[in-house]
Amino acid sequence: MVEINKVLIVEDDPNLGKILFEYLEAKNYNVSLAIDGEDGLDKFLKSSEWDIVLLDVMMPKKDGFSLARDIRKINKNIPIIFLTAKSQKDNIIKAFNLGADDYLTKPFSIEELIARIKAVMKRVLKKEENILPDKFKLSKYEFLHNQNVLIDIDKKKYKLTTKENELLKLFCENLNNKVDRNAALIKIWGDDSYYNARSMDVYIAKLRKYLKLDPKIEIKTIHGQGFKLLILE
């Protein structure tokens, strides 16, 4: 499990802010809560030891996107997860262009937020330890991301296309957790148009075909939301 020392929450909704603060604190995280964008920047500047920042988008005094820009000027590597009621494509694109590590649309479950925090922090830890996130063990399969190669249980090698490769890497980085459909489209294709969505469905079908030799591996469709790469017990 990835240990998280300090989490900064910037959320102007007092009820949600209190819930997030108390839940994360109960999970033994060291949490600080800011009530608007200016308060968030002030708290961020008072410490250099933050491990991750959770940002609301629509806030008084300074919105989440503006705050993210300011934070990135100070620390280019700090993980940022946006928490917002806005799910429009333009806002998702803007978040990722600002260097967001994830984007969670309200309403969401606290359990999903914890899972996403852990997934982001695992990727950060790998980078900090100079462990390249390009080799994944998927039950009886092996995925070599930097070589665009998937090796099955019979040691047969499949040369993946760029899109197949990036999709499978995204699934592996979020193993057993939901990958948002629109976020995946924007991250890999650049936008979530109907044409690209159909294209992604084709690539996912190909990945399922490659992985079908192992019944413990499943790419599950979550209707209207996204997908999960599951390793079954």
Instruction: Look up the domain containing 122 and give its range.
Output: 6-128
- Residue 1 inside a domain? The answer is no
AA letter at 207 = L
pLDDT for 127: 60
Q: Are residue 38 and residue 108 in the same domain, yes or no?
A: yes
Is residue 40 a contact partner of residue 65, using CB atoms and an 8 Å limit?
Answer: no
Quick: pLDDT tens for 183-233. Answer: 888 888 888 888 999 999 999 999 999 999 999 999 999 988 899 999 987
Residue in the block written with tokens 């800011």:
34
Question: Which pLDDT does position 97 carry in this prediction?
Answer: 82
Q: Does 80 share its domain with 160?
A: no
**E-strand spans in the chain?**
6-10, 30-34, 52-56, 80-84, 102-105, 135-138, 141-144, 149-151, 157-159, 178-180, 217-222, 226-231
Rounded to two decimals, what is the model's pTM?
Answer: 0.58
What's the pLDDT at 122? 79
The one-character DSSP state at 146 is G
Query: CA nearest 220: which of 230, 211, 212, 210?
Result: 230
**Among 24, 2, 226, residue whose Cα is nearest residue 113:** 24
Domain check: are 79 and 150 in the same one? no
Q: Which residues of the chain have pLDDT under 50?
A: 1-2, 130-131
What is the domain-level CATH number for residue 214?
1.10.10.10
